[in-house]
Amino acid sequence: MNVHFTKMQGAGNDFAVIDATRAPLALNRTQLQRLGDRRFGVGCDQILVIEASPAAGVDFRYRIFNGSSGEEVEHCGNGARCFVRYVVDKGLTAKRSIRVQTVNKLLELHLQDDGRVTVDMGAPIFTLADLPFVAAGLQPRLQQGFELWRLALPSGPCEVAVLSMGNPHAVQFVADVDAAPVLRVGPEVEHDAHFPRRVNAGFVQIISRSEIKLRVYERSAGETLACGTGACAAVVAGIRLGLLDEAVEVHARGGDLKIEWAGRSAGLDAPVRMTGPAQTVFEGEIEL
Ligand SMILES: N[C@H](CCC[C@H](N)C(=O)O)C(=O)O
């Protein structure tokens, strides 16, 4: 099967975007992994399949798959921004505020005049069973009323805050992200037994109450140059722990994102807003 794709990136997190708005396209896991393979295929962190609107009041639907494993992902912040750039640039919509259905959320997305995209990422989820996180045997330490969990990892203990943006995140705070052992500790956190569906592992360095540096070792993707949901999870955890204010500039290795959450003033079910770049890199065809 010959498949047209558009290669895109948001702050360095890269995607193969497939347009299935005119005709349904079911890719199997082998085909998805081929698309994601950086040597035998296109190469991308995630694959974004855009489909026609599933219902009135919704403009499109999209599905996200991790490029290395072909597994479907619940949520993808950088991918959401690339989706908006794609449908506007391809003339699939004349709107600049777009509603899209993902596997578990209805998102509101806005293309700004400066070309950046703002995404209402929905409210963070703290219910451990919904992450899922199995706390059996662990006693949390509370900081500003938010739990921190001490994981006994093979390379030593580390303390994480856990939450979901629709996909699971474990966030730890370090003195220097550039020196942090992300490639060693990241997979240990990802595969820790307390996360039955594994987890995305964030490493946060606080620069100020409105600025952080972030690295994320993503579930089934390894370290990416940016992770939108990871940036949201890092800021929400920092705000809940009393370390950050409600608007934070996040410096990822591949670019900068702005994350806003009014959880302290408006309640924990306040939505997280993310603003950042999205660009097309090239178009191509591949035989799958
Ligand atoms: N890169 C995506 C997150 C993908 C997360 C995926 N690795 C998972 O298994 O949850 C983002 O920008 O939010």
68 lines ligand 1 (CB under 6 A): no
Average pLDDT of the chain is 96
Could you give the residue ranges of the DSSP H alpha helices within 138-227?
Answer: 182-190
Question: What 3-state DSSP class applies to 263?
Answer: helix
ipTM rounded to 2 decimals: 0.93
Centre of ligand 1 to C-alpha 226, Å, is 9
Quote the DSSP letter at residue 235.
H
231 lines ligand 1 (CB under 6 A): no
Distance CA 163, CA 181 (A): 22
76 is catalytic: yes
Q: How many helices (H) and strands (E) does the chain have?
A: 5, 19
**DSSP codes joined into one string, 59-103:** -EEEEEEETTT--EES--HHHHHHHHHHHHHTTS-S-SEEEEE-S
Tokens 């509370």 sit at which residue?
142
Q: Which two tokens stand for residue 84?
A: 């908006």
Tens of pLDDT along 91-136?
999 999 999 999 888 999 999 999 999 999 999 999 999 999 999 8
Q: In the prediction, which pLDDT does 54 show? A: 86
Centre of ligand 1 to C-alpha 85, Å, is 18
66 lines ligand 1 (CB under 6 A): yes
Atom of ligand 1 nearest to the CA of 221: 7
Task: Report, as an integer, the average pLDDT of 131-153.
Answer: 96
- Which residue among the candidates 44, 76, 158, 232 is catalytic per the annotation? 76
Q: In the prediction, which pLDDT does 104 show? A: 86
229 lines ligand 1 (CB under 6 A): yes
Q: Say yes or no to pLDDT of 242 above 90.
A: yes
